[in-house]
Amino acid sequence: MTDGPWHCRHWVAVDVAVAVAFVLLDTGTTLVGATWWPDRPDTLAWVMLGVQALACASLAVRRIAPLTVVGVLGAFTLAVTLLTSPAGALTPAHHGNTWAPFSTLVAAYGPLFYQQNRRAAFVALAAFTLVVMRPWDPSVTIMTLGLLRTAVGPLLALCFEARRRMVLALVERAERAERERHLLAEQARAEERARLAGEMHDVVTHRVSLMVLQAGALRVTAQDESTRQAAEELRAAGCQALDELRDLVGILRTAPEGDHTPSVAGFADLVAESIAVGIPTELTEEGDPALASPVVGRTAYRVLREALTNVRKHAPGARVTLRVEYDEARVRLTVHNTPPTGRPSSALTGTGSGLGIAHLRQRIELVHGTLRAGPCPDGGFSVEATLPAYVPTAESAV
């Protein structure tokens, strides 16, 4: 891990350093007579000093086994107490000292902060406190210092735990507020997009409809054939533009009745057109085409039409393989063409805007689909669109 403060990322090294520091501290304070060290140390005293060093070294595992650390230091303190009285094997130079090592302060911190079982932690700390305070050998000073040794750590642990919970709660609240803000922003964007799309639909439909009507009237009243043909082409282009506009905003508004924009049923016609102009095209369909909702079907039709148009422009002589998979969750459309065998015509390649794939990606994102387009290892080109099988529209809610 690379996140978080250094002491959290290297906690093993920190705990070992803490253990070494307290081993040195307790050994030094014992030798100067601050705890149980006798005036004339014998072999037993030196052995117990080594045992104390080992007990203090157990702080290295205070995060992993906090109760074990408390038990080891408590057992050592109890052993020193029993060897002093009633065994009489040790005679501390200062009987009024607290015999527990200073490591008990750190050890008492662990059970409440690292131990999940709070009941076991409280029981262990209660027993630990009794051993350090020596109530059977009552002394106000010893009992007070002993209580402070074992109480400061748990109090700090409870304080840090409360602070950690508060920070987590604040972080969670901030994240929830951020999510809510994001959702509100998404809702506002969706409403604004719907409003703009509605206005665009109303304004552009009105103007283009006038153009179509005028072109139809010109076709009827024109005297020469070339004018009538041009008027018919203008009228057909206007009708197609209206269909494109209806399809674009159909997700946000109710689709008009009688909308005959090609859907998945028009795949065969596109393939036939491609074959007719000399591009070998193979269509493979898996699943039930009825699983694709109308909006998804029309979007898939646009993808296929754009892909086949690009093949005609940029890959003359290529073979095209079209694969469509339908299931209850999604519709996947894959168009792959082999490397071209001829040079593209500059007259054809210069007719496009160069934004066909970009426009397709925008259209697909409207229905929460994905589009991948790019060259293949064999030198060909592949277009893969994955669309949800069903996209609700205003029409679905009526």
Give me 65's structure tokens.
Answer: 């086994």
CB 317 within 8 A of CB 346: no
CB 65 within 8 A of CB 107: no
| 298 residue type, one letter | R
SS (H, E, C) 308-339: HHHHHHHCCCCCEEEEEEECCCEEEEEEEECC
CB 305 within 8 A of CB 274: no
pLDDT for the residue numbered 241: 77
End-to-end CA distance of the chain: 53
SS3 category, 381: strand
Q: What is the DSSP string of 273-296?
A: HHHHTT--EEEEEES-GGGS-HHH
Residue 51's region, left for phi above 0, alpha for psi from -120 to 50, else beta, is alpha
CATH of 264-397, one of 3.40.50.300, 3.30.2350.10, 3.30.565.10, 3.50.50.100: 3.30.565.10
Give me 149's structure tokens.
Answer: 């040794």
pLDDT for the residue numbered 284: 92
Distance separating alpha carbons of residues 115 and 64, to the nearest angstrom: 9
CB 92 within 8 A of CB 36: yes
Q: Strands 281-286 and 320-326: what pairing?
A: parallel
Residue 67 half-sphere exposure toward CB, CA atoms < 13 A: 12
How many angstroms separate the Cα of 303 from the Cα of each of 195, 306, 322? 26, 5, 11
- Strand partners for 386: 332, 370
pLDDT for the residue numbered 216: 78
pLDDT for the residue numbered 2: 45
Give me 112's structure tokens.
Answer: 């409440």
Q: What is the pLDDT along the chain (398 residues), one digit of tens a residue?
A: 445 566 567 778 888 998 999 999 999 999 988 888 888 889 999 999 999 999 999 989 888 888 888 889 889 988 988 888 888 888 888 877 777 888 888 888 888 777 667 788 888 888 888 888 887 877 787 788 888 888 887 787 778 778 888 888 888 888 888 878 877 887 787 777 777 766 666 667 667 777 777 887 888 888 888 888 888 888 788 777 777 776 666 555 444 444 455 788 889 988 888 888 778 999 999 998 888 888 888 889 888 888 888 887 788 888 999 999 999 889 999 999 999 887 776 545 544 445 567 778 887 888 888 999 889 988 899 999 999 988 765 444 33
Q: So where are the chain's domains?
A: 6-138, 177-249, 264-397
Distance separating alpha carbons of residues 113 and 160, to the nearest angstrom: 8
Distance separating alpha carbons of residues 119 and 121, to the nearest angstrom: 5
**Angle value at C-alpha 248, between 327 and 231, nearest 5 degrees:** 125
CB 136 within 8 A of CB 85: no
Distance separating alpha carbons of residues 303 and 360, to the nearest angstrom: 7
pLDDT for the residue numbered 164: 82
Give me 243's structure tokens.
Answer: 């269909």
pLDDT for the residue numbered 261: 54
Residue 357 half-sphere exposure toward CB, CA atoms < 13 A: 13
Other Cβ atoms closer than 10 A to 223: 6
What is the pTM (predicted TM-score) of this model?
0.41
Distance separating alpha carbons of residues 289 and 273, to the nearest angstrom: 21
SS3 category, 372: strand
Q: Strands 370-375 and 330-337: what pairing?
A: unpaired
Non-local CB neighbours of 186 within 8 Å, separated by 6+ positions: none
Non-local CB neighbours of 358 within 8 Å, separated by 6+ positions: none
